[in-house]
Amino acid sequence: MTTATLSDTIGADMEATIARTTWRYWLALLFAAGMTALGIWAWVQILQDGFGLTGLNTPVMWGSFITNFVFFIGVSHAGTLVSAILYFTKSPIRAGVGRSAEAMTVIAIMTAGLFPIIHLGRAWLGFWLMPYPNQRQLWPNFHSPLIWDVFAISSYVTISALFLYMGMLPDLSSLSRRVRGVRKYVYRVLSLGFSESDGEWALFERAYPIFALVVIPLAVSVHSVVSWDFAMALTPGWHSTIFAPYFVAGAIFSGVAMAIILLSLLRRGYKLQAYIQEKHFDALAKLMLSMSLIMTFVYCTEIFMAFYHGESVEIDLYIWRMTGPSAPLFWSVIFCNSVVPLACFWRKIRFDLRALIAISVLVTIGMWLERYMIVVTSLSHGADPATWGSYFPSFHEILITVGACGWFALWFMVFVKFFPCISISETKQAQVAFSTVPSAGTEDSSEEPHDA
C-alpha cells in the first residue's frame, strides 16, 4: 500500500465516525440528554426551595457535590497529562489514545466546574468568586483555597482546551478538504487556515510542545490545589500534607480508568480496532496498576501518619472510619482501588478487554467512593463529639449526580460527532514511522495480542 492510499484509508475511517450516525448513537444521545435534564430539574428545585433539599446538615456541609467535583477533576487529569507525557516520550500509543483523552479532560472539567456553582448556597452570586472590579470594592480572599480553585480550574480548562484544539488543527484542515457543505466552511474556519505546508508544519511542531510542556506541571498543580481545599482545613481527616500527591495520584488513577472505559467504547462503537490497539490498553493497564500501587502506599502512609502524630482526634477518626458505621465504605474503597487492580499484574488480564473494563469500572466507583469517604466521614466525625452526625445524599443530589454523568456523556458524544476522536495526522505519522500497516478496520485484530 502506498502512503497516499494509507492516508486515505485512515482519513476515511475517521471521517466515518463523524459522518455515520446510527440509531444507536441517537438513542445514546437521547439517553444522556435525558439524564442531564433530570439533573437540571433537580438543581432548579434546589435553587427554588433551598439547600434543605440536599441531605447535607450541620456537621456535614459538603457532600455529593464536592465529591463529584473532585471526582471529575480527577477524571480530567489523566487525559491531558497522559497525552502530554506520551508526546514527550514519543510513545507510539499516543496516536490512538491522545485525542479522546484530551477531549475527556476538557469535558470532565466542564462537568467538574459545574459543581462548585451548584454547591453554592446562593449560586446566583457565584460570580462573586471571580476577581473583577465591582461596586463592592472587594477582591476575593486570596487566602481561601476556594479562590485558588477558581484560578487553577480556569487555567486548566483554558490550557487543556487550547492543547486539544491546537492538536486538532491539522485534522480540521484535512477534514475541511474531505467534507462538503456547511461543514467544510466550519472546519476551514476552525482550522485557522492551516494548510499543511512545510512551513506551517515546522511552526506547529515548535508550538505544540510548548503547550504539552505547560500542561504537565499545570495538571499536577491543579489537583494539588483541589486537594488543598481539604488539606488547608483544620478538619481531622483532611488536614494532612500528603493530600497533594495523594490527589494527583488518585486523579491519574481514576483518569486512566475512565480513559480505558471511553476508549473501549469508542473502539467498539466505531470499529477502531486498527487504531486503538490492544497494546494501547496494555500500556494504560500498566499505568493504572502502578497508580494503584501508589494509592495503596498513600493509604498506608495516611493512616500511619494519623497514628504517628498522636493526635487523638485524628486517631479516633481513622479508627472510626475503618470500624464504625462507615467501615463498608472504607473497605470497598480499599477493595476497588488497592486489591482489584492487582489483577493487572497478569499479562492475560491486561489483554482481556472485558476484564480491563470491569477493573476500570470498579476503580472508577472506588475512586468516587474514596472522595465521598474523605469528604463525608471527616466532616461527620469532627473535633467536638457533640456535633457528630451523618449524611446520605438525598434524592435531589442523586439526580444531580446522574445528571452530571449524563452531561459528561452528552458532551463526549457531541465531540466525537464533530471532531476526529483519534488524531488523523499522528496516526498517519505513526503508521509511516513504524510501518505497522493496519488492515483498516476490515479485520478484527483483538484476538492476537500485539506487544508494544
Residues that bind another protein (CB under 8 A): 49-52, 56-59, 61-62, 116, 119-123, 125-126, 128-129, 136, 138, 140-141, 143-147, 150, 229, 232-235, 311-313, 316, 379, 382-389
Taking the least distance from each CB to another protein, the nearer of 55 and 403 is 55
Query: Quick one: 292 exposed, middle or buried, by C-beta within 10 A (0-12, 13-18, 19+)?
Result: buried
CB of 299 to another protein, least distance (A): 22
The CA distance from 440 to 427, in Å, is 12
CB of 41 to another protein, least distance (A): 19
CB 271 within 8 A of CB 323: no
Taking the least distance from each CB to another protein, the nearer of 147 and 402 is 147
Q: Pull the grid cell for residue 265.
A: 467504547
Taking the least distance from each CB to another protein, the nearer of 72 and 419 is 72
Taking the least distance from each CB to another protein, the nearer of 204 and 388 is 388
The CA distance from 441 to 406, in Å, is 30
Taking the least distance from each CB to another protein, the nearer of 319 and 342 is 319
The CA distance from 100 to 254, in Å, is 15
Query: Quick one: 133 exposed, middle or buried, by C-beta within 10 A (0-12, 13-18, 19+)?
Result: exposed
CB of 162 to another protein, least distance (A): 26
CB 57 within 8 A of CB 391: yes
The CA distance from 365 to 367, in Å, is 5
Taking the least distance from each CB to another protein, the nearer of 309 and 450 is 309
Taking the least distance from each CB to another protein, the nearer of 332 and 390 is 390
Q: How far is CA 249 from CA 124, 243, 256, 324, 339, in A?
A: 34, 10, 11, 27, 16
Taking the least distance from each CB to another protein, the nearer of 182 and 386 is 386
CB of 175 to another protein, least distance (A): 42
CB of 314 to another protein, least distance (A): 11
Taking the least distance from each CB to another protein, the nearer of 33 and 53 is 53
CB of 327 to another protein, least distance (A): 18
Residues 6+ apart with CB under 8 A from 357: 260, 261, 264
Taking the least distance from each CB to another protein, the nearer of 38 and 61 is 61
CB 440 within 8 A of CB 139: no
For the chain, give the number of residues. Answer: 452
CB 408 within 8 A of CB 113: no
Taking the least distance from each CB to another protein, the nearer of 5 and 323 is 323
Q: Pull the grid cell for residue 91.
A: 510513545
CB of 380 to another protein, least distance (A): 10
Report DSSP letters for 220-242, one per residue: HHHHHHHHHHHHTS--TTT--TT
Helix, coil or strand: residue 191? coil
The helix/strand count (H/E) of the chain reads as 16, 0
Q: How far is CA 164 from CA 85, 202, 320, in A?
A: 14, 18, 44
- Compute φ and ψ for 293, nearest 5 degrees: -65, -40
Q: How far is CA 149 from CA 126, 260, 289, in A?
A: 13, 27, 29
CB 196 within 8 A of CB 170: yes
